[in-house]
Amino acid sequence: MTPSLFTLFGKSINDFFSAKILTLTLFPALFGIMLWGSVLYIFGNEIYTYLSQMLLGFMPDWLNTQGTAQSILNSIIHFSLSFALYTLFGIFFLIAILLTNMLFSIFYTPFIVEYVRVKSYPHLPKAEFGSLLECILVFIKNFLLFAFLALISLLLYLVPFIGSLLGSFALFIVWYLFFKNTTFYDVGSSSMEESKFQYINQTRFFTNHAYALSAYLLNYVPFFNFFLMPLQILLITHYFFTRLDEMQSIKNSR
């Protein structure tokens, strides 16, 4: 029987605070923060000026005429525009760092998987399939697909009254599925044969999503989400190894 989610989450946290995993945690996250922080620092003002001027170009000319009402309305529009653009920059910064962390995870996932196997599941044989290039191609393919779906989901924001709710929910689902597909493939290709991965991925639908969703929700922990990608990988790794352990026990009992 597969251990509970809370049991495996506890094991994942214990592994997360080991020296090896903390090293893998800090460098990719700090690199992403420095990289995208530098991009916004260097180009942020130019991008902000360009976007604000472009959007203000759609405003009617009568807002620029003199008058108390026009002046107040003009100030409100400028404030709202500035708030929206800075919010957009913040969202871009967050998503860019998280995507950078996911890209880095392709390279260090095999090390995490092997660390967990040796420490907690040494009786399971080492197995893998695919290559690093295939993992990168899967990441790119999934990103392009789900980025396209995310753009389509933005249209839901145009729905009157409930557009914001529908759009946010759709984006949540889209990026969750991107996360699940990518991390499941990365961990699976580093921990088992392809046939076993296909079996695990296609069975216990709700259990798979319970673990994937639990890992994905860590992305919404403020600030710390920049550093939690290895913990997400650890949780899925423990889950996969317990499934493999269960499969091997059933095979040995026959």
Contacts with 111 (C-beta within 8 Å, 6 or more apart), sequence order: 20, 24
In this structure, is residue 116 part of a structural domain? yes
Q: What is the dihedral of CA 129, 132, 138, 139, to 10 degrees?
A: 140
Higher pLDDT, 171 or 67: 171
CB 1 within 8 Å of CB 242: no
Task: Give tens-digit pLDDT for 159-214.
Answer: 777 777 888 888 889 999 999 999 999 999 999 999 999 999 999 899 999 999 99
Nearest to residue 212, comparing CAs of 185, 247, 192?
A: 185
* Spatial separation of the C-alpha atoms in residues 128 and 29, rounded to whole Å: 26
Q: How far is CA 143 from CA 138, 150, 174, 180, 195, in A?
A: 8, 10, 10, 12, 24
Give one word for 222, left, alpha or beta, with left for phi > 0 and alpha for psi -120 to 50: beta
* Spatial separation of the C-alpha atoms in residues 107 and 146, rounded to whole Å: 21
In this structure, is residue 115 part of a structural domain? yes
Full domain range(s) for residue 12 = 5-27+102-253
In this structure, is residue 123 part of a structural domain? yes
CB 7 within 8 Å of CB 238: no
Asked whether the CA dihedral 245, 6, 111, 188 is positive or negative, the reply is positive
Predicted model pTM:
0.80
Task: Give tens-digit pLDDT for 215-237.
Answer: 999 988 887 887 889 999 999 99
Task: Give tens-digit pLDDT for 87-124.
Answer: 777 777 777 887 888 888 888 999 999 999 999 999 99
- Which stretches does DSSP call E strand in the chain? none
* Spatial separation of the C-alpha atoms in residues 225 and 95, rounded to whole Å: 11
User: pLDDT class for 71, splitting at 50, 70, 90?
Assistant: low
Q: Tell me the CA end-to-end span of the chain in Å, nearest whole number.
A: 16
* Spatial separation of the C-alpha atoms in residues 87 and 72, rounded to whole Å: 22
Amino acid, single-letter form, for residue 249: S
Q: What is the dihedral of CA 204, 9, 214, 206, to 10 degrees?
A: 10
Q: How many folded domains does the chain comprise?
A: 1
Residue 128's CB is within 10 A of a number of other CB atoms, namely 16
Task: Give tens-digit pLDDT for 40-59.
Answer: 888 878 877 877 777 666 55
Mean of pLDDT over the chain? 84
In this structure, is residue 139 part of a structural domain? yes
In this structure, is residue 96 part of a structural domain? no
In this structure, is residue 40 part of a structural domain? no
In this structure, is residue 228 part of a structural domain? yes
In this structure, is residue 50 part of a structural domain? no
* Spatial separation of the C-alpha atoms in residues 208 and 180, rounded to whole Å: 9
